[in-house]
Amino acid sequence: MPINILSQETVNKIAAGEVVERPLNVVKELVENSLDAFASSVTVEIEEAGKKLVRVSDNGCGMDKKDLELSILRHATSKIENFEDLSHICTMGFRGEALSSIAAVSNFDVKTRKKGELSGWKLSSNGGKNVSVVPCSGSEGTITEVRDLFFNVPARQKFLKSDSTERSRIISSFEEAALANPEISFKMLSENKTVFSSSKTDDKLERISDILGKDFAKDLINIKIEHPKVILDIYFTGRDNSLANKKFQHLFVNSRPVNYPRQLIYYVYQAYRESMPRDRHPGILIYITIDPSEMDVNIHPTKREVKFADEQGVYDIIYKSLKNAIISHAHPEIKINSEPKETEILRPHTGSNFKYRHEKSRSFSNGGSVVAEPISKYNPKNYSIDKYANVFAKQQEFVSEKFDENIKVLGQAFNAYIVVENKGELYIFDQHAAAERIRYEVYLSQIKAQSLRVQQLLIPETFDMSPSGASVLKANIALFNELGIIVEEFGQNVFRITAYPSLLGNVAIKQIVKTIVSDIEEDKNAEIKEKTDKIIRSACRSSIKAGDSVSFVETKKMISDLFKCDHPFTCPHGRPTAYKISLNELEKFFKRK
């Protein structure tokens, strides 16, 4: 086979594929360039969801003629000089490939005027060819215009989704940039209409309120922590304001929006564990400021992931402070008056010599360097973490001590409730919720003990699914199998179930599997652990039918099983299992007291 050396044009087009997959990436890269240029105001305009036009204007430092000419060459960057510089990145960009990639697949224009110069320059190119640079007028800063994206790569165009999908991706990404950088004004227009506009502010909460809504922002709790290793500014919902989805979870590291690392989000949920129903989610924005040499951003093509040198250390600080703040917010009445034990998170920040972009950007405008804002609302003096943990443990013991053989099951009401008397309290249990809790905990414990019992079906149940449902099921088949639901592919989008856990009883298992699949589909980014939990909960829920009458003996067994559970008072979906009335309340009601 004859070997060809590819032309620069072809090489650039291929490379462009890695950086620019869709209009969203163009917006993101250009906005990042504006941020790196110390802009205090950034405007994005799009037409036809960015397919026809993306224009990003900033009031940043601009470029002179020489830099402008270099800017669209591949691997041309002002942000690093050599490989070592990668170990302390303070800028959003550093690979020097965004402009060359974007220019290769669009009709591309940059108008720029360097700060302090009297006039500017305009660069134009078509698909990376016919590059010209001519003088032009205009204010200080840079306007980058990308027209007819992928006009010369039709294959790419085919991959693009509808305008509304592409537009909403752009908007979410722009919102993230705005959340990450409250000290910068942002504006976005689509087809010449303002989509949103947010003026710069020193107050993150104000920006959060602008972008995510006043209702969400008004209930947020804030903690600020300075640690020698890391500065944290966390805004989060308390126990009573959990949400139905994960939309309001953002992580920013040195002002870069990144995905939550799996382990970190796990810690966040752990911190909420006791105080949030299982199918609810926290709203949480974590702003991390860390010495750039303590992390690596060069591990993901679109820089959506970061790695911390001391990952565990950082996560520990977040977990502990978050957990304490959640507890103390939920129980302001509990104060333990002892001097705090010196723990890592309580140690004051001893000053930092690292710089990050905003230090530079602020020193640009006011000539001074800035560390983080002082600690305000978080005052850990009121309690010590360890002591608090003990109080909690005692309460738990108390709960389980309380329920012993004295429990008297009085009967069943409306075929749905079980009435129980115990030590001066009357409980009305929701039979359905209670059964769900019991089944859930049995399922979990059998899995943990690797003693899950499954029943083989004499005749396997066969069913078909939509292509998208089938792809979700296929991707999770191993997990289903691990959980005792033995599913296998049985043709194109057709599956069959040969066995399932005995504890689920006699159920329409294929219906259950379908429900679980659509649950998983709704939340594609769920972690294995969450998915596992979802499958177990869903299976337990669907396996119990409300309104079934239960014999007296069965109710007794049920209540005694329930009190063996770790969490007898909530069903796995977080609803309460019981309503409690004390003798005292009854007496008051009947005016005996």
Site residues (vs ligand ADP, CB under 6 A): 29, 33-34, 36-37, 58, 60-63, 67, 71, 76-79, 93-99, 142
**Residue 60, interface with Mg ion (CB under 5 A)?**
no
**Count of residues touching Mg ion (by CB under 5 A):** 3
Residue 71: name its binding partner from Mg ion, ligand ADP, none (Cβ under 5 to 8 Å by kind). Answer: ligand ADP
Cβ neighbors of 375 (< 8 A, separation 6 or more) are 224, 225, 226
Task: Report the sign of the C-alpha dihedral through residues 177, 182, 183, 188, in that order.
Answer: positive
Choose between 64 and 311: whose C-beta lies nearer to Mg ion: 64
Distances from the Cα of 456 to the Cα of 113, 344, 450, angstroms: 74, 53, 18
Which residues on neighbouring strands pair with residue 226, listed in sequence order? 231
Taking the least distance from each CB to ligand ADP, the nearer of 75 and 214 is 75
Look up residue 88 and give its two tokens. Answer: 């302390």
Which is nearer to Mg ion, 101 or 198 (by Cβ)? 101
Q: Cα dist. 70→100, 144, 338, 391, 401 in Å?
A: 10, 15, 62, 64, 74
Minimum separation from the CB atom of position 84 to ligand ADP (A) = 17
Shortest CB 110 distance to ligand ADP, Å: 7
Compare residues 62 and 182 and give the one whose CB is closer to ligand ADP: 62
Q: What is the nearest approach in angstroms of ligand ADP to the Cβ of residue 326?
A: 39
Query: Strand, coil or helix: what is 160?
Result: coil
Across-strand partners of 288?
Answer: 232, 253
Give 141 or 282: the residue with its C-beta nearer to ligand ADP.
141
Question: 254 or 328: whose CB is closer to ligand ADP?
Answer: 254
CB-nearer residue toward ligand ADP: 67 or 305: 67
The rounded Cα 392 to chain-centroid distance in angstroms is 28
Q: Which of 396, 239, 258, 264 is nearest to 332 (CA)?
A: 239
Per CB under 5 A, 33 contacts Mg ion: yes
- Applying CB under 5 A, among 50, 60, 62, 93 the residue interacting with Mg ion is 93
414 CB contacts (<8 Å, ≥6 apart)? none
Q: Which residue is nearest to ligand ADP (CB)?
A: 93
CB of 33 to Mg ion, least distance (A): 4
Report the residue number, 34 or 209, with the smaller CB distance to ligand ADP. 34
With H, G, I as helix, E, B as strand and everything else as coil, classify residue 503.
helix
The nearer residue to ligand ADP, 96 or 340, going by C-beta atoms, is 96
User: Contact with Mg ion (CB under 5 A): which of 89, 98, 487, 512?
Assistant: 98
The set of residues, in sequence order, having a beta carbon less than 8 Å from that of 160 and lying 6+ positions away, is: 22, 23, 51, 150, 166
63 binds, among ligand ADP, Mg ion, none (CB under 5 to 8 A by kind): ligand ADP
In the bound state with Mg ion, the residue whose beta carbon lies nearer, of 101 and 249, is 101
Residue 96 CA, chain-centre distance (Å), reads 28
Angle ∠(135,151,15) on CA atoms, nearest 5 = 85
Find the shortest distance in angstroms from Cβ 385 to ligand ADP: 42
Partner that binds at residue 95, options ligand ADP, Mg ion, none, CB closer than 5 to 8 Å by kind:
ligand ADP
Min dist. Cβ of residue 189 to ligand ADP (A): 18
Taking residue 414's Cβ as centre, other Cβ atoms within 10 Å add up to: 8
Our CB check for ligand ADP shows the closer of 51 and 303 to be: 303
Which of Mg ion, ligand ADP, none does residue 175 bind (CB under 5 to 8 Å by kind)?
Answer: none
C-alpha distance from residue 104 to each of 17, 33, 72, 119, 294 (Å): 10, 17, 9, 27, 35
Smallest gap, in angstroms, from Cβ of residue 98 to Mg ion?
4
Which residue blocks in 331-367 are alpha helix, DSSP H? 357-366
Q: How far apart are CA 153 and CA 165, in angstroms?
A: 20
Q: How far apart are CA 467 and CA 170, in angstroms?
A: 27
DSSP state letter for 6: P
**Least distance between ligand ADP and beta carbon 520 (Å):** 37
In the complex, minimum distance from the CB of residue 297 to ligand ADP, in angstroms, rounded to a whole number: 12
Q: Environment class of residue 60 by beta-carbon count within 10 Å: exposed (0-12), middle (13-18) or buried (19+)?
A: buried
Contact 300, 256 (CB under 8 A): no
Nearer to ligand ADP, 60 or 128 (CB): 60
Q: Which stretch binds Mg ion (CB under 5 A): 27-35, 294-302, 401-409, 524-532?
A: 27-35
Return the one option of Mg ion, ligand ADP, none that residue 352 interacts with (CB less than 5 to 8 A, by type).
Answer: none
Residue 90 CB, shortest distance to ligand ADP, in Å, is 12
Residue 297 host element (H or E): none
Write b or e for each residue in 334-355: b if 16 or more Cβ atoms lie within 10 A of its Cβ, otherwise e: eeeeeeeeeeebbeebeebeeb
Cβ–Cβ under 8 Å, residues 589 and 295? no
Q: What does DSSP assign to residue 516?
A: H
Return the one option of ligand ADP, Mg ion, none that residue 78 interacts with (CB less than 5 to 8 A, by type). ligand ADP
Smallest distance, Å, CB 58 to ligand ADP? Answer: 5
Binding segment for Mg ion (CB under 5 A), chosen from 89-97, 105-113, 348-356, 489-497, is 89-97
346-385 footprint of Mg ion as x/- string (CB under 5 A): ----------------------------------------
Note the residues at the interface with Mg ion (CB under 5 A).
33, 93, 98
